[in-house]
Amino acid sequence: MAYWQWGNPQAEHTVVCVHGLSRQGRDFDVLAQALVQKAGGNIRVVCPDVAGRGQSDWLADPMAYQLPTYVADMLALLAHLKPAILDWVGTSMGGLIGLGVTSVLSTAGPSQGAKAPPGGSAAHAVASVGVRRLVLNDVGPVVQWNSIVRIAAYLGKSMQFASLQQAADAMWSVSTSFGPHTPAQWLELSRHMVKPLPVGQAGVTLHYDPAIAVPVRAMTQEMAVQGETALWQLYDAIAAQTLLLRGADSDLLSPATAAQMTQRGPRARLVEFAGVGHAPTLISDDQVQAVTSFLLE
């Protein structure tokens, strides 16, 4: 698993930023640089490419592209990083991974004795560190079914483009819910979403393994509803201070679910962004300010 690191590798304070379903770790370039600047360099920001995305390896079994795999991978990453103070920023899928990681770390302490928590030895390696502050970016225990259907309609399609600009234009056609972006901002966000075609072929293709779509398309509405109970249990057990970001026009995180999240579990602080759907990209000044002030206050 590849990851991108900003700031001071020796800093006690580590912020792990994890991207959405079809994205990659460079989505957080703007936020990471803002955190480093506002912390006076005394912070480490780590932005992994989840398996099957970006520079990370692809999995042999498509059905392994699911939360249990991702949580185990992140626990192994944390065991490698050995953070003294740990905060988590998760966009969409990255937020759900954060729920799992936070849960495992909260049950992996010395009081558990010889009992191994989910995640095994990697969890024990970071047992002394829990998630201090958690940012959930446009995601919660209830993921609206119409959003899953929308994402499944475009996810995993093999696409080739003559240029980065052509790829950016195509991605914008399915990403307008991200909200207003300047052409330069969108081009920069798109730059790391593609990779060159194999030697001998001109152009670029999407960065991720098309097989990440297999588990999404295998999901039924009944399965999604069943998963909500488990996710609420994870959320209700969170002790970390929690910030919930929501695009006011989001089709994935409903107003009702967001309101519930402010009243139960960690009683998240809710910040909504007008004119934005799923999901805020954390590059506009107001979005960056909301996260940096929460993590550094």
Largest CA distance in the chain: 58
87 — phi, psi (to 5°)? -120, 155
Helix (H, G, I), strand (E, B) or coil at 167: helix
Strand-pair partners of 245: 137, 271
Q: Of the ranges 46-55, 149-158, 186-195, which one carries the lowest mean pLDDT score?
A: 149-158
- pLDDT at position 116, please? 39
pLDDT of 125 above 70: no
77 found inside a domain = yes
- Residue 193 CB burial class (10 angstroms; 0-12, 13-18, ≥19): buried
- pLDDT at position 199, please? 80
Q: From start to end of the chain, where are the E strands?
A: 3-7, 13-18, 44-48, 85-91, 131-137, 160-161, 194-196, 204-206, 241-247, 269-273
17 — phi, psi (to 5°)? -115, 120
Terminus-to-terminus CA distance in the chain, angstroms? 31
pTM here? 0.92
187 found inside a domain = no
pLDDT of 108 above 80: no
Give the structural domain span for 105: 3-144+221-296
Left, alpha or beta for 275 (phi > 0: left; psi -120 to 50: alpha)?
Answer: left
Could you give the CA distance from residue 99 to residue 178 in angstroms, rounded to a whole number?
Answer: 23
Question: Which pLDDT band holds residue 73 (cuts at 50, 70, 90)?
Answer: very high
269 found inside a domain = yes
254 found inside a domain = yes
283 found inside a domain = yes
Kindly report the average pLDDT of the chain as a whole number: 91
Q: Which residue do the tokens 């460079």 mark?
A: 26
Could you give the CA distance from residue 18 to residue 45 in angstroms, rounded to a whole number?
Answer: 11
150 found inside a domain = no
Could you give the CA distance from residue 119 to residue 73 in angstroms, rounded to a whole number?
Answer: 9
- Residue 286 CB burial class (10 angstroms; 0-12, 13-18, ≥19): exposed
130 found inside a domain = yes
pLDDT above 70 as % of the chain: 93
pLDDT of 115 above 80: no
pLDDT of 286 above 50: yes
Pairing between β-strand 44-48 and β-strand 13-18 as defined by DSSP bridges: parallel
CATH number for the domain spanning 245: value is 3.40.50.1820
Nearest to 104 by CA among 71, 64, 65, 141: 71
- pLDDT at position 126, please? 56
Are the C-beta atoms of 241 and 132 separated by less than 8 Å? yes
- pLDDT at position 121, please? 56
19 found inside a domain = yes
Count of domains observed in the chain? 1
- pLDDT at position 122, please? 57
Residues whose CB is less than 8 angstroms from the CB of residue 69 and which lie 6 or more positions away in sequence, other chains included: 51, 59
